[in-house]
Structure 1
């Protein structure tokens, strides 16, 4: 193993550790403050970004989860009155999912708190640090 590859491996382990710690704290925040889960938050965020709705396939691809996982989350959101399914007018097999007005309001409250939590988690980083890390990660995505 070369010195460069060892350094990259250490960097990967550190990146993974930071990601896992932040994700764990965000999961706990959402559970305690909003009585929700990170997967539910992620589905609601995707639906919030696409107000006209997403098919289950689009939602699964967007979130990098199986159709089954997405379906379980959407089922619960629908049961709780936060999302609804809309059958396609052109394809009987296709169904779009949208947030209800209650879902929109709930997500906006969750998202505001989520933003505060992310800011708290990375408060020790300066704006220049955040910009540099963002630039580095964008370059790493292209490899």
Structure 2
């Protein structure tokens, strides 16, 4: 490998390490916020967010694929949400083997309260970036993660 390519390789590695550090810090801050302010966990928030975005019942298997988690983890989180009256599971009318899950009205209200605060936390975490920098960051991340950007 020539020195220019090696240098670029090392710079990519340093960028990856920085990206990982920023991600871990932000995730720790958000976990702490959700635990402290809402008595919940990030996985619960993520499940509720996925269900809220869809606004229609979602098959359990699809939910786990959407969140890149195991079926067992999705089932555990949904079971706890259902026990608290925040989610409801129903069998599919088309295929009895398929279970659909959706937020209840109480789940929607709870999520929307959490989401507002979550947005504020993310705003603080990224508060040093202006609009142009945010657009640039998103464009860079889109280049290394094609097909994963939902906006």
Unaligned runs of 5+ in 1: none
The Cα RMSD (Å) is 1.1
- How far residue 130 of structure 1 moved from its aligned partner, in angstroms, is 0.7
Mapped pair 1:82 → 2:69: no
Structure 1 consecutive aligned stretches of length 4 or more whose deviation exceeds 6 Å: none
Q: Are 2:101 and 1:97 equivalent residues in the alignment? A: yes
Residue 19 of structure 2 corresponds to 15
Structure 2 counterpart of 1:139, from 129, 133, 143: 143
Q: CA deviation at 1:142?
A: 2.8
What TM-score, normalized to structure 1?
0.97
Structure 1: distance between partners of 2:146 and 2:53: 24
Encode CA deviations 1:24-68: one digit per residue, 9 max, x unaligned.
000000000000000000000000011111111000000000000
Distance in 2, matches of 1:122 and 1:23, equals: 12
Q: 2:121 aligns with which of 111, 117, 122?
A: 117
Instruction: Provide the rounded CA distance (Å) in 2 between the counterparts of 1:118 and 1:47.
Output: 20
> Is 1:56 paired with 2:60?
yes
| Cα displacement (A) at 1:91 | 1.0
Cα distance between partner residues in 1 of 2:87 and 2:115:
16
In structure 2, distance between residues paired with 1:46 and 1:52: 10
Number of matched residues?
143
Which one of 56, 68, 74 corresponds to residue 70 of structure 1? 74
Residue 129 of structure 1 aligns with which residue?
A: 133
Match of 1:35 among 39, 49, 71: 39
